Amino acid sequence: MNPATILPDALPEVPPAQRRRGRLQLILILAVVIAPMILASAMYQWRFWVPETRSYHGELIGNGQSRADLGIAAATETRWQLLVTVPQTCDSACKELVFLARQIHIGLNRDVSRASHALAVAQPLAADYDAQLQREYPQLTRYPLELDAYGKTAGEAKDAQLWLVDPHGNLVLRYDATSKGKEILNDLRHLLKISQIG
């Protein structure tokens, strides 16, 4: 028996024009999916078409540095954190930032449970200020600060700094003692609003 008579009829041949149209549609679908990713990667790599305006007030830390890179290895906080770091003695600017961090934390109102405030110092605090913190700042978390690691991350910053830290311990924004509390509060509120963590 002839094998050709047993096999079913072959599929009809697709006309060349229809085949070209199908290939073109496939290429267009791939281009719509892949082109934006290539464009976004190029914009990031070569910094073109990046908007000059910004909606935050501090210095953006976008290089993946963490609280541990600051020299704070013992931290286990899993909420957003207002962290004040003091590489030298805690002077009036340092005390102002500690007070500001607490006020911003209180200013979060219904989101107050999503954040905390902390102080990391390299040198012991003066006895009277230490007693004041224990008395008036009962929720303030305290950490030791390793100066070698801090210098590599914070650079030339010798004064007290305030950092916004995400729940994973990543540094997000940095402020110095001249920063305005309302601006920091607005930045933190915005981060809490868009954040899916903490």
CATH 3.30.930.10 fits 59-194, yes or no: no
Name 172's Cβ contacts closer than 8 Å, sequence gap at least 6.
60, 61, 163, 164, 165, 166, 191
Q: What was the pLDDT predicted at 10? A: 60
**CA 50, CA 43: separation in Å to the nearest integer?**
7
pLDDT over threshold 60, residue 2: no
For 154-186, how does the pLDDT look when each residue is reduced to its tens digit (9 = 90+)? Answer: 877 789 999 999 999 999 999 999 999 999 999
Name 118's Cβ contacts closer than 8 Å, sequence gap at least 6.
75, 77, 81, 82, 83, 84, 101, 140, 141, 142, 143
Across residues 61-69, what is the average pLDDT?
A: 88
Confidence of residue 18 (pLDDT cuts 50, 70, 90): confident
pLDDT over threshold 90, residue 92: yes
Q: What was the pLDDT predicted at 196? A: 82
User: How high is the mean pLDDT of the chain?
Assistant: 88
Q: What was the pLDDT predicted at 109? A: 94
Domain ranges of the chain: 15-50, 59-194
For 97-120, how does the pLDDT look when each residue is reduced to its tens digit (9 = 90+)? Answer: 999 999 999 999 999 999 999 999
Q: What was the pLDDT predicted at 3? A: 52
For 133-154, how does the pLDDT look when each residue is reduced to its tens digit (9 = 90+)? Answer: 999 999 999 999 999 899 888 8
